[in-house]
Every structure is written in C-alpha cells, then in structure tokens.
Amino acid sequence: MSPRAHPNSNSTGPITWDNYSLKIDGRRVVFWGGEMHPFRLPSMNLWQDIFEKFKANGFNVVQSYFHWGFHCWNDQTVDLTGIRGIEYFLKLAQKTGIYVAARPGPYINAETTGGGFALWTKTLKARSRTADAGWTDAWMPYISKMAELLEKYQYPKGPVIAVQVDNEFTGDADTDREYMALLEKTYKDAGIYVPLYHNYPNDVENPWVSGVGAPDLVGYDVYAIGWKGCPINYTDWKQPYSTPYTSFKQYMEGVPLFFPEFGGGSFDSWGGNGEALCRLHANENYERLYDRWTLAYGATMQSTYMTFGGTNWGNLRFPQDYTSYDYGAPITESRQVGDRTYEKKLLGLFLQTASDFLQTDMATGTVSSSDVRNDVRINPETAAEFHILRHTDIASMADTSFSVIIGNVTVPQEDGTLVRLNGRDSKILPGNLAFLDQHLVYSTADILTWGNIDGTDYLLLHGISGEDGEIVLQVSGTPAVQFLGSSANKGKTTLNGSQLRLNFAIDGLLPIKITGASVPLTILVADKPTAYSLWRLDTRHGPAFVYGSYLVRGESATSGNTLWLRGDTNDTSTVEVFASKSFKNVAWNGEQIDTTTTNYGSLKAQLKGPPTASVPKLTGWTVGYEAPEKQAAFDDSDWTVANRTTTNYTLAPPDGQPVLYSDDYQFHVGHVWYRGHFSGTGNEKQLNITVQGGDNSVYAAWLNGAYLGAFNSTGKAKADVLDLPENTVSKGSNVISILVDGMGSDEDEPHEQYKAYRGLYAAQLLTTSNDSVGPAITWKIQGNLGGENIVDPHRGTFNTGGKFGERKGWHLNGFPATSANNFTTGVSLPHNFGAAGVAWYFTDFTLNFPKGTDNPVAVSFAKPDQNKHYRAEFYINGWNYGKLIPDLGPQFDFPVPPGILNTNGKNHIAIAVHGLNDKDNTFADVQLKILASYTYSGPEWIQTEAPDYDESVYGKSSSQ
C-alpha cells in the first residue's frame, strides 16, 4: 500500500512540521513529553513541583488529560476553578518553561470512571462519540470552554503547542467521522492554530490519517512490554510484536512519527502484584532500551504514559483499578525521582541538543556480531550518523563485545578494545557530527549534551562503567590533550593526520581538555551513575553543568556574580559545577556554599542532607456506628422514589418492575442505598435480586435489620437468590435495605460500555418452594448528598458517595464526633466493632516537619486476619484519599500529598469501615509512614481550600 499524503500539512504559523519533526518558529524541536494528570493531584502548587522535575530531567513537554466529568458534574456546570483550575495549570507550565500538549477528551480512557465522560451523560439516549445532536449538545459547552482557554494559552502566547482530539477512537463510520470533524471545527472556530492530533491504540491502519475528521497529526500507542497489570516475573520482557511497528510509515506522509503514549509502566488491578513490581518491570534498563528502539524507527515525538501517575483519590478510579495510579512511572506517586527519571534525562538532554537527530532517515548498519542489531539514522543534509545498538533479541541478558562500522571505519580502532552490550543495554553512537566549533568523527560513548562556557566548547558523554571508550575528532595542527581527574591515568592519545583519537576506560567522571585549536574543547565522560547526577542549567552566562545531588531545579536568582543553584538532596553529597568564571561564588538554595577549585577548573562543594523527620503514632481513636438505613424504622421520607418506568439504557427492567438504575436518579459515584418497602404475608422465603456495582463490587443486604449477607455485584451481574431467615418477615410493613459499593463506571470499550447500569436491575420476593412471586416492592434510593447538585464543589463530584456518614459530613474536619452524640472515645486499634454495618474511626494528629524539607507520607493499614472481611475508605482533612479492600489488595500504603496533608499543623483522619462479617468485625491498626526525606527547594505548598463541617448543610446526626 502506498503512503497517503496527509490533508492538513501545515507550512505556516509558529508550529509547523514535516515528515521528520515538529518545528517551532522554524527550528526543529523534539517533542519529549511526560504525562501527568492535574485531576490526580489535587494539591495545585505541587503541579509546579512536577513540572520542575519534568524539565530538570530532560522533558520539554507535559502532556495532560483533562477530565470532562471532573469539571462537569451536571449539564449546567463547566467548572475551571480550584483543583479544576486548568488556567492555573497552564500558567505554572509557562512559568516553568515547559510546553503543554492538552488532551481534553471528551473521552480520555485513563483508567478513570466512565473513561472521563461526564457521568450524567450515561442516561442520554444519544449514542456517544457520534454526530448525534444530543451528544453534540452534551460535550459542546465543555469543549467550547476548554477551546477558549487553550486558545488564550497557545504558543507563542502560552505553553500549549498541540491539542488532542478525543482519544484512541477506532470508529470509521460516517457519524464517527462527523463527530471528529465537529470537535476539530470547535477548536478551529475558537482560534486554535496549533496542531490538532489523535492517538490510535495500535499499529493497524489508522482511519484518521485522511478523510473527514482527520486531524493535523496522528500518533500511536506503544506499550512495548504489555499493559494492564504488573507481572509477577518482572524480568520477563517478551516482545509482543513480531515485527514491531514496521507498518507505521506506510500509512503516513508529511507528518512526524508520533507516539503520544509510550508505556512508562502499567496500571495495576485489584488483586494484582503491586506497583513496585511495575517499576521493576519497566526499570531504567527498560527506558534505556525501548526509548532507543522507538528512536530507531524515527520517532521525534513521544510522551511517556505515565511519567507521574498520581492518585485515584475519591471515586476517580474505574472498576478494575485501585487508589494508587503510581503506574510504576518514572516519578512515583509520592513525587520521588530516581534512576528511571534520570535515564529519561540522558535521552531528553541529547534530543534537545543534537538537532541533527531530528531529521534522519533509516539505514542498516554493520556490526561484527549477529547477536547485535545496528539501526542507523542518517541526516540527509549534514550526513551525520547515529548508530542505535541493541541485542537482536530485545530480552537478551547476554554480554556481547563487537565492532561496528561508523562511516567507513571499523570501530573501535584501538587494539584489544571492543564495543560492549551487557544485557538490556542500548547505545546511540554518533558519527560525522558537527557540534559547536568542533567535528566529531565518531564516539563509542553516548552524547549527553554540549555547550560553550567562556569560549571553551564542552562535550558531555556517558557510558557504562568499566567499558572501553573511544572518541575521534577532526582537528587541525597538533592539539595538546590532558586527561584529568581521578581517571587521568586511563587515557591514551593517538594523532593520525587530522584525526585525533582518544581512548580511555569509562569510570566516574573523566575530564579531557584539548587545547591548541581555534576553540578549545573540554570533554566530560561520565559513567552511568555519574551521568544520572548531571543537571544542565542555561544561565545568563551560558550553560552550567552540575554533577551531584538528587535534583537541581534551576536558579533561585539571577543577580550579581553568584550562581544561585536551587535543588533538593536526599543525603549529604558532593556537587561539582562547570560554569562561567563570571560566577565568583556558588549558592545553594539561597545560602553561599564553600567551594574548592579542581585542577581542571570546576568547583566542588559539600551539600547537606535532610534533617530527620518523624510522624506521631496514631492513637486515641473515637468510634461511631452508622447504617441506620438497615433498620425498618429508619425515616427515608426525603429519599428519591424509584418509580421511573422507562430508561434510555439498552437493558430495560423486567416487566412490572420500575427502573432501579442509580444513574437514572442522578447518583453516579460511590455507595448507593436502596430501601424496598413491601407488605408481607409471612410466607416470603427468598429474595431474587440482581445487582451490578462494577467489577470488584459487593453489596450488603438486610431485611428489617437482620443481616442477609454480603455478595459480589460485578460488572457482569447475575441473579442472587437470598434466603430470608425464619421469623424476619412481618405481616404488614417490611423493609429490605441494600448497600451497593459502587466501584465506578466502565470505560467506553466497547462503544457505549460506559453506560452499563449501576445499582439494582431487578428484585422479587419468592414465597414458596415453587418460587411463586411474592408481593411487589416499592423502592427508594439515596446516593451522595445532592446527587448531581453536589454540596461540596471545592472537593468536587468524586469525593463522596452515599454512606450515611458521608451524607452527614462525618468525613469533615469539625464534625462533632463526641460522647454527647453517642460516639465512643479512647478506642485503640485493632478494634472489634461488632455486627455488619459501617463503623467510623476518627483521630487527630499534628505534624511539624523541618522547614525546607519534603517528607512524603503514607497512611499505612495493617492486614487483618484472613477471616475478617471489610472495606474501608479514609479521609484526610475531608479528602477521600484511599479505598482499602484487604480481601483483594494489593494496596495497604496510601501516599497523601502536602496540601491535602498539613505537614506543619493539625490533621484530622476519618475512616469509614464497612464490615462484611455477620459479627465480630475487627478493624486492624492504622499508622503513618514516612517514605523518604529530602531537602526541598520547590514551590511552597499551601492547604487546598475546602470547607469544614457545616451543620446547615449536613444537619445533625449521632452514632447509632
């Protein structure tokens, strides 16, 4: 099949492109992106912390989903304030100096409830993701408002350089194409001129490369070693594609190869193996190998999904996912960077420096070993070469030594030396490359970055400790070479005509000074751990290269003759600075530091590590009991009567029964209560009931306060027949109480799946052994307080469901959980709270972390005895920050970010525990845990604004 010319080729405006790369203001620019979602980090000042970590670690783009349902909890609301403040998000990105690729949906997938659709659309008759007028009317207010905002902040007015249209849409019918075209028209009508793009979920022929609805750019998802669950055997790197992505280019012409989602790990499922295994699976070697693999295919636009995952706080998750959305990503859920982040930095700095790489064609290279693959990228204008080496078997753990032909030279030339690939390693060896005022014939060490300081060119390289390094430069005259530093005795110089060859062993940091040419050159060769600690700053006096420290964010000031470094440490460390002599002093986080000068001109200094921080033991619990709804005498007069007879959902209720789906009554998240009233004869023996709460859901049932048990209510509901205990049915008035633990709505896969019902489908009483139908049941329903008209817009629609305590504000600071209201104080954990139902535990604690530190904290739950079955949700200062299901796991530690957690002041924790045993429900211990400690130079966090308990909103209540 011949390539199709893309219809929307852009040759005007500030953002252009060709088949090689994006161009910004006419200059080729790599799109080296990292994905993060602001809705998964509701502490807004920490968005800048993430941006700074992205930028310092080589990313130049933050790619972000924006969540329609998060902003629009009813059809009258598009909220862009507070934790939904996308304008603030864009301003922080602009302040940090990082581009933004915006992905507003309407559909985002993202392992979030409903795939990001506004959940009130579940009841629409209109088919989603079509040109149906009802569907257009639903998304238009949100997308129009987002388009208006993105237009305001598109480049060069702001950081937005691209906007994604919908997400992973495989439809190809006329109405599907018209839907995409309508979205694109909405953006264009708002004045959006930056490229619109779409990502396709696989490498089959993409319908969006041409025709109606085709955006400007198309991209593909790449989850190289799998997706959906963390493996038990994290060393298993089976390649899922026999000829990976060889088909991409045959469908594309005139646009760069673009991977909007390159797998940075995987989400894990309930009952899975834990995100720690995801991080081991997609480790720094994974980044090193697979990032170079996509570059070998010619990708110059790529974003890692996820780079920072964050948290499915509240009811954000979809049914298969638990609270942590860590994703095994390069930056952890608790905002910690490490080797995977640093590995990303090595390539990010290279790609932002070596613009020759952004315009290359594929060629096949030659190596001396059949076990090694050599993909060559050659720039057609400059003839620069880039040899991307890896084992032919991408999962190989072999240690292979070999030679490679670069240009017309067999490399390395030095006797007794070879290029080496040890296991899952990959290298990019440059050849015939002009940089600054120098010419590199080839190098067997990877390029990190380069720059000129005070008239001296600097070339920074990196490799694997213990391996041979060889560099050949084109020179004039007879240059003088000095090998300096601790590795000085490991260097050798050979001059052959106009070519200067340097041979050395890679170990630590090796400075090589070359003088005698018109522009002197210093080469800094680092082994991998040393390169990981390299930070590049572009200062008012040119680039500065800083080795050492956990993180260097940038400069804290730009005045005087001081280099004002701003960074974080995780231990005492040595920092080494290569910078202009115009800087007479070096400061660290605003304080001058003592430096010594090395024999090669750098400055070294010692940095302090973080002081010790501690957390208090959680004691002095107060307990209260709820679920009065299970009692027959409970007053449900203000509940919604479930008496609808029609629904737009494709599955109609059984004949003679009302519509019982919770979405039809505007209850979309969390727990939902049903109370069924019937007039009994005393002959009722069983209840035939069908409940669907999503995968991993359960429901609990009572009859007149007598517990019938807890049962699965998965996404593929089946009827349960519940035996009614003897003497529980009264002649006359009776009440069935059902508490459904809603686990979220499905994503839109297959099409319209997100509309799958939640709650009850049907319920009938059976009277005799021959299953004759008993009396009719009249149902009432209650979910979150206010339904779609939520009462706490600060925290938003996903924070609470319909448990009694949530409706009464028990989760909030200031709620009077006192003995006067029948709560029991002075309780210690573990604690037996008795019969099935919901118990709430409360305590306060104070933190006082040292100033200028970051100490990520997790709420850590002990595992209960195997025969104790419960589910728990906990609230920190009113924020629902985790759901615990010990029977499923794997999550027992729940990070809570500063801004939700008050790191220097009083905090309140409330825990709602739904006991599933009929008796002796026992809640295990809960404590705080510091995950790590750092000195901190990032943006100061503030407490996220949200209201405390207000009796006028929630009313009075007491423990039952």
Active site residues: 168, 261
The CA distance from 775 to 517, in Å, is 99
Taken as a whole, the chain contains a residue count of: 960
For the chain, the straight-line distance linking the first and the last C-alpha, in angstroms and rounded, comes to: 71
In degrees to the nearest 10, what's the CA dihedral of 245, 352, 45, 551? Answer: 110
According to DSSP, the β-strands at 857-861 and 831-834 are unpaired
Give the DSSP H/E element, type plus range, for residue 704.
none
Q: How many other CB atoms sit within 10 Å of the CB of residue 416? A: 7
CA 254, 258, 259 angle in degrees (round to 5)?
165
Contact 186, 179 (CB under 8 A): no
Contact 859, 894 (CB under 8 A): yes
The CA distance from 383 to 651, in Å, is 63
According to DSSP, the β-strands at 61-65 and 99-103 are parallel
The CA distance from 956 to 240, in Å, is 58
3-state SS assignment for residue 720: strand
Q: Identity (one letter) of the amino acid at 347?
A: L
C-alpha dist (Å) from residue 462 to 349, 407, 530, 579: 12, 21, 8, 19
Q: Give which of 42, 46, 62 is closest to 103, Cα–Cα.
A: 62
Q: Give which of 940, 932, 936 is closest to 855, Cα–Cα.
A: 932
The CA distance from 763 to 760, in Å, is 8
C-alpha dist (Å) from residue 21 to 34, 196, 300, 542, 741: 18, 15, 6, 27, 48
β-bridge mates for residue 261, sequence order? 221
Contact 501, 472 (CB under 8 A): yes
Which residues, 6 or more positions from 36, have their beta carbon under 8 angstroms from its beta carbon?
47, 50, 54, 62, 64, 306, 307, 308, 309, 310
Please say whether the dihedral angle defined by the alpha carbons of residues 644, 646, 649 and 650, taken in this order, is positive or negative. positive
Give the DSSP H/E element, type plus range, for residue 804.
helix 804-807
According to DSSP, the β-strands at 15-17 and 196-200 are unpaired
Q: Exposed e or buried b for every residue in 307-342, given b needs 16+ CB within 10 A? A: bbbbbbbbbbbbbbbbbbbbbbbbbbbbbbbbbbbb
Q: How many other CB atoms sit within 10 Å of the CB of residue 647? A: 18
The owner of tokens 């590199």 is: 440
Residue 581 phi/psi, 5° resolution?
-65, -10
The CA distance from 130 to 136, in Å, is 8
3-state helix, strand and coil shares in percent for the chain, rounded to the nearest 5: 15, 35, 50
The CA distance from 754 to 763, in Å, is 23
Contact 146, 104 (CB under 8 A): yes
Q: According to DSSP H, which parts of 260-360 are helical?
A: 275-281, 284-296, 339-353
